[in-house]
Chains A and B, each alone.
Chain A
Amino acid sequence: QKEVEQNSGPLSVPEGAIASLNCTYSDRGSQSFFWYRQYSGKSPELIMSIYSNGDKEDGRFTAQLNKASQYVSLLIRDSQPSDSATYLCAPYNAGNMLTFGGGTRLMVKP
């Protein structure tokens, strides 16, 4: 079992829709969780962090965390073509190191 699992996609959504990106992790000791956005050919950019169970909203982005289910998600409201990228889920494991999922490729169609 991989430490961090993400559906590789591509996830295709129409412009203006909600994109839902999901991630499961295996290390129950993980306490901090991060979402990175990576445009093709570019380096990852941190867009959200979440530490507690529940929802955290920042603009059009909402991160959701459920530690009991070992599940974290990212919702993007009013999706724009500029949101088309690969989204990486990255929990901090019990060894205090970031572990990355393989990423979900999102395509927002005009």
Chain B
Amino acid sequence: SQTIHQWPATLVQPVGSPLSLECTVEGTSNPNLYWYRQAAGRGLQLLFYSVGIGQISSEVPQNLSASRPQDRQFILSSKKLLLSDSGFYLCAWNSGSFEQFFGPGTRLTVL
């Protein structure tokens, strides 16, 4: 069966510091991978998606970036965090169907 992992689970970072969030999927190959952000009391916003290694599409221009160095690894990064980057970051995957499955998420607080 497929499983998706995210780490860290929670993170508190100062404004201006860098960020690296990691997502890995097990039990499937060549998945589509997605990064979403859910701000407090708001809906899910798609940030990036990837259909293969090194292939990244951005949905929202901002100070975040994404990379896919391996087939089942998706990384979300920032060089300098802003207060507005606080939120619940969710990685999701699908493969061969439209149904997307979410990881446990990373709760980021920028102070």
Do residues B99 and A103 form an inter-chain contact, with CB atoms below 8 A?
no
User: Measured between C-beta atoms, what is the minimum distance from B42 to chain A in Å?
Assistant: 7
Q: What is the distance, in angstroms, from A33's C-beta to the closest C-beta of chain B?
A: 9
Q: How many residues of B contact A (CB 8 A)?
A: 17
Which 9 interchain pairs have the tightest Cβ spacing? Answer: A100-B44, A43-B102, A102-B43, A43-B105, A32-B98, A100-B43, A44-B102, A92-B98, A43-B104
B36's closest neighbor in chain A, by CB? A100
Whether the pair B43, A101 counts as a contact (CB closer than 8 A) is: yes
Q: What sequence of 0s and 1s flags, for each residue 33-62 of chain B, a beta carbon within 8 Å of any chain A beta carbon?
A: 000000000111010010000000001000
B102 partner residues in chain A, CB cutoff 8 A: 36, 43-45
Q: How large is the interface on A (under 10, 10 to 19, 20 to 34, 35 or more residues)?
A: 10 to 19
> A43 and B49 in contact (CB under 8 A), knowing A49-B99, A100-B43, A103-B43?
no
Asked whether B87 is an interface residue with its Cβ less than 8 Å from the other chain, the reply is no
Residues of B within 8 A of A (CB): 42-44, 46, 49, 59, 88, 90, 98-105, 107
Question: Which partner residue on chain A sits nearest B90 by CB separation?
Answer: A43
- In the bound complex, how far is the Cα of B94 from the Cα of A49, in angstroms? 14
Distance between Cα atoms of A45 and B101 in the complex (Å): 7
CA separation between A36 and B36, bound complex, in Å? Answer: 14
By a CB distance below 8 angstroms, the chain B residues around A41 are: 107
Chain B residues with Cβ below 8 Å from A101 are: 43
